[in-house]
Amino acid sequence: MHHDSSSRIATELSQWIATAPDGARLPSSRALVKQYGASPVTVQKALASLALRGLVESRPGVGTFVRREKTLASPDLSWQTGTLGPREYLPGPMAAPLREAGNDEFALYDGYPEPGLLPRELVRAALGRAARSEDALRRAPLAGLPDLQAWFAAEVSDTGATSPPVASDATVVPGSQTGLSSILRAIVGPGQPLIVESPTYWGLISAAERTGVTLVPVPTGPVGPDPAVLAEAIDRTGATAFYAQPNFTNPTGVQWSPDLRAQVLEVVRSRRAFLIEDDWAHDFGIDAGSVPMIGDDADGHIVYVRSLTKSVSPAVRVAAVIARGPARDRIRADVRAESMYVSPILQAAALDVITRPAWRTHVRALGRHLGDRRDSLLAAIRAEVPKLTVDSVPQGGLNLWGRLPEGTDVRSLVAEAAARGVFITGGDELFPTEAPAPHVRLNFAGPNPTGYREAMRRLGEVIDQGLSTTKSSVR
């Protein structure tokens, strides 16, 4: 929602319209200017917004009136049921990161940092410059703007990579979700197995469902997956790919050690398989930085994904997939068929932001802010929810992964917490199979960090209430 004056006026007028009779006349523009202390242009913008939404109608020389509701015939769409047939892909409930929370609630589920954590002025200025450039009037190269491809490749090389990719290995995509879907279609294939950490990123589970890929979970612990278990899963299923987030895994926050990285890469290499490396939290380091694995892969076993959408702006859906050889060509062909190309305005704006000195300054400050929020949420949990166990403190990312008491009904807990104004993500949404224990994910990058203590007090009450109910039913 935009919080400028015209939006505020439109919101208040729409509330009045909701109770006004059809045909009621709104105050004149002059009266609204006086009432809200706004300029005539701002008032006209608010009225235009109401007209676009079909709430009012303007009669030149007379005034603005509440629009009369027209009675429209209900369409008969029942024929589509038989024509379309059964659904091959059945979407589940809306994923937690995409739900909306109200103003008087605690949003600890959002997958995106709140606007206050974003480089707002850099983004606004960059979008303005991009809109005034020739990028506003042309299509982008199919693989992306060359300078943006080069930047993504250089970011991997700058971490001390021994076998860094080059610019031509990068394909710019409209967000990591699109990139993941193309990767699954291109190098895994419908009906084929994909090894995945459990728990894992909800977007990967969704992409697998849409593309028909079969997920084969391997458990991940406080230090990451067991290479021996990974090797056994590949050998048993014949899988040709393993999806993982080696840096600040979502949701657990684990960062793989150098030794584990080397062992996993050897498992993949020795079995002629791919590792799909999702570097989702590259810009969200707190006590440690993200170190991409792809730089240590000389033979094209790693397919790397990195998005700028979370760290630059949700409005700038720009990401890149880096791959080598035939894998790159197949992924690029799928991206081309799926989305043609990414808006050159968005690519230019993203490149503008990330190549300015202020971007590095912002990322360093962001790490400090995230660290403060993480520590505040941890303190609130320890003070108000002693029954919620956080086994490890993440060194980066946006989430805490909490284990609930045995026997907790996670779905009921999430629903009851939401009823009390605390929105969290149930762990069962993040397991590709049955969850071995009850968990919740708490995001510390959302709005109102000063409310963590109150939010955890309410969550603690919900947990206690649920445990009390469980004990009563057992008796």
Same domain, 311 and 173: yes
> What DSSP designation does 255 have?
-
Q: What does the pLDDT read at residue 74?
A: 74
At which of 301, 336, 358 does a domain end?
358
Domain with 171 in it: what CATH number? Answer: 3.40.640.10
Domain assignment present for 56 = yes
Both 349 and 415 in one domain: the answer is: no
92 & 185 share domain: no
73 lies in some domain: no
pLDDT for residue 53: 87
Give the pLDDT score at 157: 81
Are residues 258 and 223 part of one domain?
yes
96 located within any domain:
yes
DSSP classification of residue 431: -
| Cβ atoms of residues 302 and 275 within 8 Å | yes
Residue ranges for the chain with pLDDT beneath 70: 1-4, 70-72, 87-103, 158-161, 467-475
- Residue owning tokens 């860094």: 164
- 371 in the same domain as 412: yes
CATH code of residue 397 = 3.90.1150.10
Which of 358, 380, 413 is where one domain is finished?
Answer: 358
Q: Are residues 101 and 43 in the same domain?
A: no
Between the CA of residue 151 and those of 171, 172, 229, what are the distances in Å? 12, 11, 36
The DSSP H or E segment spanning 228 is helix 227-237
Whether residue 157 lies inside any domain: the answer is yes
Helix, strand, or coil (residue 2): coil
Same domain, 148 and 262: yes
Specify if 183 maps to a domain.
Answer: yes
End-to-end CA distance of the chain: 49
How far is residue 405 CA from its own chain's centroid?
Answer: 28
187/227 same-domain check: yes
3-state secondary structure 304-329: EEEECCCCCCCCCCCEEEECCHHHHH
CATH code at position 58? 1.10.10.10
pLDDT at 251: 95
For residues 164 and 248, state if they share a domain.
yes
Residues 193, 337 within the same domain? yes
Domain range for 29 is 5-66
Give the contacts of 12 (CB within 8 A, at least 6 positions apart).
none
**What's the confidence (pLDDT) of residue 100?**
60
In sequence order, the 6+-apart residues with CB closer than 8 A to the CB of 28 are 63
What total of structural domains would you count in the chain? 3
At which residue do the structure tokens 């729409």 appear?
A: 14
Does the residue 71 lie in any domain? Answer: no
Q: What pLDDT does 85 receive?
A: 77
Q: Which of 327, 358, 389 is the last residue in one of the domains?
A: 358
Q: What is the pLDDT of residue 89?
A: 55
Say yes or no: 61 and 100 in one domain.
no
Same domain, 262 and 347: yes
Q: Tokens 């987030």 identify what position?
A: 245
Q: Which helix (H) or strand (E) covers residue 64, if one does?
A: strand 63-66
